[in-house]
Structure 1
Amino acid sequence: MRDADASHPMVPFLRRRRLLQGALAATVAPALVLPAHAAAAWPQKAVRLVVGFPPGSSPDALARTVADPLAQALGQAVIVENKVGAAGTIGVNAVARATDGHTIGLTGNGPLTTAKALNPATPYDVARDLRPISLVGASPFVLTGSLGMPATDLPGLLAHARAQGDRLSYGSVGPGSGSHLAMELLKTLTGIQAVHVPFPGFPQVATALMGKQIDLSFMIPSIAAPQARSGRLRLYGVSTAAPFAAFAEVPPIQGALGAGKAFDIASWNAIFGPAAMPAPAAQRLSDEIARILKTPDVRQRLFDQGWQALGTAPEALSRQIAQDTAMWGDVIKRTGARSE
């Protein structure tokens, strides 16, 4: 495997959309100034790393991959704690409300970018209650089809879908999820129609696809790729504008959409803290995480899980949150999507 770096084809998605250049100041929580000796002494006890998804999920696997080397770097235990529910927002809210100075979280992008638009009752405000620390890993969604679909490439699929009207169906991991919103965006850009069928998770989506109970889905690579390579599913395209190294043979969807139509989205995970976390502590975490994510062993482990290792400054995560909040907010408004 070739290590991802600044020239890696997945990296540009972090740099392309500069929709809210002025949003950085609003998104990064105000710094609390600590004396230098206090910052140097942090952490003074075990660090709690809250994950709002169950054991075995992608965010959980990423958290446990990072936890051990981070503990070694900090000189204190890093304890992964799963607080599951409400599409990850229960875990994020637990971090937002933490007051012990040693609680951080890891989540997928949804709870940081779409949760409030999908459910105004979401109990935290990202800009007010959270402090960005670092992006951890990114991955495209893969447009996946059942073997019951006659098309073998993306242009053929789009032509077939247009001819079928609303007779096709697609699966997602729930209303408002990335897999749901990605398909709604594709429908808007191409004029295709497909009926939404929600499932509890991607394994169930894959089972329905292989059983030809549904026709299409935007899936994560770690679930879609093994089934496609064993001949049980088809891969039509990746959701990023640039190819993804792990699936070089799968073209970007944007190339089949025509001029003036942008389709450049990715799933990502990030580490964050409560707004009250002092800036020096957040910066130390960001620096250590970036260093960890550059080590060959950790990069390979993330690659094997279907992720490109990142590691960024807090400001880069802040920009990513602002950009994706604006993009998905527009999709949510146009489609009327709501979380359950």
Structure 2
Amino acid sequence: MQPIAITRRQLIAGGAAGLAAAALPGIARAQGAWPTKPIRFVVPFAPGGSSEVVARSSAVEMAKLLGTSMFVDNKPGAAGNVAMAEVARADDQHTLILGHIGTLAVNPFIFDKLPYSVAKDFRPISLLAKVPSLYLVHPDLPVKNLKEFVAYAKKNPGKLNYGSAGNGSAGHLAMEYLKMVTDTFITHVPYRGTGPQLTDLMAGRLDAASVGASAVLQFIKAGKLRCIATGTTQRIPQLPDVPTVAEQGYPGFEMTQWYGLLAPSNLPQAAADKLAAAAAKAMKEPALLEHLNNDAAIAVGSTPADFSRFIEQEQKRWKVVVDRAKIKPDN
């Protein structure tokens, strides 16, 4: 797909406020004058990957609806904790953050002390998108699907290994979740990033991994990796012949990376309502849907209440996995 060429210094054109108000009276005219200046949308990861696509494409559409400008600011560090702590303290009412499975549902259980509170410091606004987690093996491994992989792992306990982008990463969680439900023993090899992990997986130095679809579809189609299952509840259009984990004997299984919009808890209710309405509508815009589909991401767009309940459910689910696997953050 063509990259969305927006940098920290390049504001996303929001369109004239008057045009937005005319087109969307329920969003642009209601609840006062907010926003009164450009909105900073913080992404707690380095540029690139699914987080970048979700943030930039949703920012473009939300800016149009809110009648302002919106710029994405990448601020990586400490598994997202640096950015989360900064935004939690922001009091300008024009700073938002991209929440993630890691920062919202996992970090509270793998760090002894967090510099932010998910429940107290943030307002959930909307679940924006989910990115399918794919379960992969090197093509030389003598398995064609998940059932064969599980059988092979049980016949060879501890002999298989899998890589991840680091302790507590989405890929680490995805494989530990699969190990838990399938009762298999596979050794974890943490890397510092998805790139080095994929290099070793394609070279045969790793047996398996779970990676977000956007990063690996090209390698699957080229035959460099074999996808044995998707973590989604339904098959994905990009890999229609690959069954889900649930289809292969584990009903109810779901593993996706997800991203949502949050604001500091001090954002006034009227502004939060306007923002939530814009986010929900933005995730249905054809241009955004095309961008996300090209990256194998699934648009959601939820209410604040639904997103809040979703976070609570995810925290309960991942606490069990973290405790069982004794996951600790990278030093």
Pick from 48, 63, 88 the counterpart of residue 56 of structure 1.
48
Structure 1 position 234 matched with structure 2 position 226? yes
Pick from 304, 311, 332 the counterpart of residue 322 of structure 2.
332
Extract unaligned runs of 5+ from structure 1: 1-36
Aligned-residue sequence identity (percent) comes to 33
Extract unaligned runs of 5+ from structure 2: 1-28
Q: Deviations over 1:70-94 (max 9, x none)?
A: 2222222212111110111211221
Structure 1 position 191 matched with structure 2 position 183? yes
The 8 Å contact of residues 70 and 289 in structure 1, kept in 2 or not, is answered as yes
Q: Which residue of 1 aligns with 2:303?
A: 313
Tell me, in whole angstroms, the C-alpha distance in 1 between the residues paired with 2:304 and 2:32: 19
Q: Which residue of 2 aligns with 1:272?
A: 262
TM-score, with structure 2 as normaliser: 0.87
Pick from 77, 90, 93 the counterpart of residue 98 of structure 1.
90
The 8 Å contact of residues 240 and 252 in structure 1, kept in 2 or not, is answered as yes
Q: Which residue of 2 aligns with 1:252?
A: 244
The 8 Å contact of residues 59 and 72 in structure 2, kept in 1 or not, is answered as yes
Please state how far the C-alpha of 1:111 moved relative to its aligned partner: 0.1
Please state how far the C-alpha of 1:200 moved relative to its aligned partner: 2.2
Tell me, in whole angstroms, the C-alpha distance in 2 between the residues paired with 1:180 and 1:255: 22
Select between 120-129 and 65-74 the one with higher mean Cα deviation: 65-74
Please state how far the C-alpha of 1:211 moved relative to its aligned partner: 0.2
Pick from 138, 155, 159 the counterpart of residue 163 of structure 1.
155
Query: What amino acid is the match of 2:326?
Result: G
In the TM superposition, structure 1's runs of 4+ consecutive aligned residues that sit over 3 Å from their partners are: none
The 8 Å contact of residues 184 and 335 in structure 1, kept in 2 or not, is answered as yes
Q: Deviations over 1:72-127 (max 9, x none)?
A: 22222212111110111211221111011111111322101111101021111111
Tell me, in whole angstroms, the C-alpha distance in 2 between the residues paired with 1:73 and 1:263: 36
Query: What amino acid is the match of 2:307?
Result: L
Q: Which residue of 2 aligns with 1:177?
A: 169
Pick from 270, 276, 279 the counterpart of residue 286 of structure 1.
276
Tell me, in whole angstroms, the C-alpha distance in 1 between the residues paired with 2:159 and 2:248: 22
Pick from 132, 135, 141 the counterpart of residue 149 of structure 1.
141
Q: Deviations over 1:142-164 (max 9, x none)?
A: 10000120111221111111111
Please state how far the C-alpha of 1:207 moved relative to its aligned partner: 1.3
**CA separation of 1:290 and 1:210: change in aligned 2, threshold 3 A:** same
The 8 Å contact of residues 137 and 310 in structure 1, kept in 2 or not, is answered as yes
Select between 244-253 and 92-101 the one with higher mean Cα deviation: 244-253
How many pairs were matched up?
A: 302
Tell me, in whole angstroms, the C-alpha distance in 2 between the residues paired with 1:70 and 1:183: 34
The 8 Å contact of residues 173 and 205 in structure 1, kept in 2 or not, is answered as yes
The 8 Å contact of residues 53 and 59 in structure 1, kept in 2 or not, is answered as yes
Query: What amino acid is the match of 1:62?
Result: V
The 8 Å contact of residues 96 and 124 in structure 1, kept in 2 or not, is answered as yes
Please state how far the C-alpha of 1:246 moved relative to its aligned partner: 3.0
Tell me, in whole angstroms, the C-alpha distance in 2 between the residues paired with 1:316 and 1:190: 30
Q: Which residue of 1 aligns with 2:19?
A: none
Secondary structure in structure 2 of the residue aligned to 1:197 = strand
Map 1:285-304; keep pairs closer than 5 Å: 285-304=275-294
